[in-house]
Amino acid sequence: MKINVPDYILKLKPYKPGKPIEELEREYGIKDSIKLASNENPQGPPESALEAMKNALKNAHRYPDGSGFYLTQKLATKNHVKPENIVLGNGSDDIIGLLTRAFLTPGDQALMPLPSFLMYEIMVNSAGAESVFVPLSGPEKSFSIDLDGIVRMINPKTRMIFLTNPNNPTGTVIRKDDFDSFCSKVPKDILLVIDEAYIEFARDENGLFGQDYIDQGRPVVVLRTFSKAYGLAGLRVGYGIMDRDIAQVLNRVRMPFNVNSIAQAGALAALDDEDYLEKSLAVIQRGLDYLYGELDGMGVTYFKTQSNFFLIDVKMSADEVFERLLREGVIVRSMTSYGFPEYIRVTVGLIEENKRFIMAFKKVVSL
């Protein structure tokens, strides 16, 4: 069979997610493995969300509310914006796809840090546009996003800039003053996409808070998700905060019913569960304190984070360390595909999981 596929589609590299626990145990014949690879909430989903989803199941034969009215209203109130500033997505990945589909055409360029979230490149290239990468600063600056470097790469083809705050995989945040200076140098017709999937974990009081820039005279979209701090990664619920004119464009290309009714019910309940969120943040902070202390004792180089994950310099093949840890029943993320062949990224887990990681890590790096 012959079928005409554009070259820019054939050149796409599929996103490779973290290794599932079931796959690891099947391949290696082990049990009771732990996953510290995908920046998930180690507590599991909120009980309040589980109960709400259970109640919503009785209406599973009905189509969802395509506008997500109640969830949109609650998100608008929580984020101090208007409902018309909110667009719901099947995860924040969905919003990225809507943005690239709506605002990029073949020949356009989008700038993004390198490394960062791999879906930016995939979505930009799938629109026939070109991804232009700007390397992060060096380790002396904790691999922060090089805003000046991004400015230098702007040209007449630039239509969109992606910024991740906190950045994945490095956990650094953009300072508000630095962002203000950056904005003064960026043409006002370039769409700024600020991905704040991990913003709930950030503790730097001087850090950028993207929603402060909505309706301020330049096109800004802030991405948020329920997958991390709210513990609902499996539901795929995300949203964007943006100027109403941008939102109206996205709603023209958004698939109907892109957020299912069960997910909407779970997200609504999670938003009201402040105790769960506070506990999640406390678990991550205690876990980081423990992991930092253990790694300091080992003399291992790592980079402090404003998120629920952090980078470790293993000073050898990250892929090899990754494979050795797998055999100990511990899944982390090798950063080789991100351009850091001697770094692993570790998600903070429950205290028992963190202790198990340290025990396994000490073993594999001493081999």
Residue 137: the pLDDT is 87
SS3 sequence, the chain?
CCCCCCHHHHCCCCCCCCCCHHHHHHHHCCCCCEECCCCCCCCCCCHHHHHHHHHHHHHCCCCCCCCCHHHHHHHHHHCCCCHHHEEEECCHHHHHHHHHHHHCCCCCEEEEEECCCHHHHHHHHHCCCEEEEEECCCHHHCCCCCHHHHHHHCCCCEEEEEEECCCCCCCCCCEHHHHHHHHCCCCCCCEEEEECCCHHHCCCCCECCHHHHCCCCCCEEEEEECCCCCCCHHHCCEEEEECHHHHHHHHHHCCCCCCCHHHHHHHHHHHHCHHHHHHHHHHHHHHHHHHHHHHHHHCCEEECCCCCEEEEECCCCHHHHHHHHHHCCEECEECHHHCCCCEEEEECCCHHHHHHHHHHHHHHHCC
Residue 90: the pLDDT is 95
Over residues 3-40, the pLDDT tens digits come to 777 777 777 777 666 667 777 678 777 778 899 998 99
For the chain, the structural domain boundaries read: 7-45+275-365, 47-272
Over residues 214-237, the pLDDT tens digits come to 988 899 999 999 999 999 999 999
Percentage of the chain beyond pLDDT 70 is 97
Residue 331: the pLDDT is 92
The CA-atom distances, in angstroms, between 215 and each of 100, 198, 241, 308, 358 are: 20, 23, 10, 30, 46
Nearest to 210 by CA among 220, 225, 200: 220
Counting beta carbons within 10 angstroms of the beta carbon of residue 186, is it exposed (0 to 12), middle (13 to 18) or buried (19 or more)?
Answer: middle
Q: What integer best gives the mean pLDDT of the chain?
A: 92
Over residues 158-189, the pLDDT tens digits come to 999 999 999 999 999 999 999 999 999 999 99
Q: CATH top-level class for 7-45+275-365?
A: alpha beta
How far is it, in rounded angstroms, from Cα 119 to Cα 218?
24
Residue 273: the pLDDT is 95
Residue 18: the pLDDT is 64
Kindly give the confidence (pLDDT) of every residue in the chain, 367 residues in length, as a single tens digit, with 9 standing for 90 and above: 577 777 777 777 776 666 677 776 787 777 788 999 989 999 999 999 999 999 999 999 999 998 899 999 999 999 999 999 999 999 999 999 999 999 999 999 999 999 888 899 999 999 999 999 999 987 777 789 999 999 999 999 999 999 999 999 999 999 999 999 999 999 999 999 999 999 999 999 899 999 999 988 899 999 999 999 999 999 999 999 999 999 999 999 998 899 999 999 999 999 999 999 999 999 999 999 999 999 999 999 999 999 999 999 999 999 999 999 999 999 999 999 888 999 999 999 999 999 999 999 999 988 6
Domain 47-272: assigned CATH number: 3.40.640.10
Contacts of 180 (CB under 8 A, 6+ apart): none
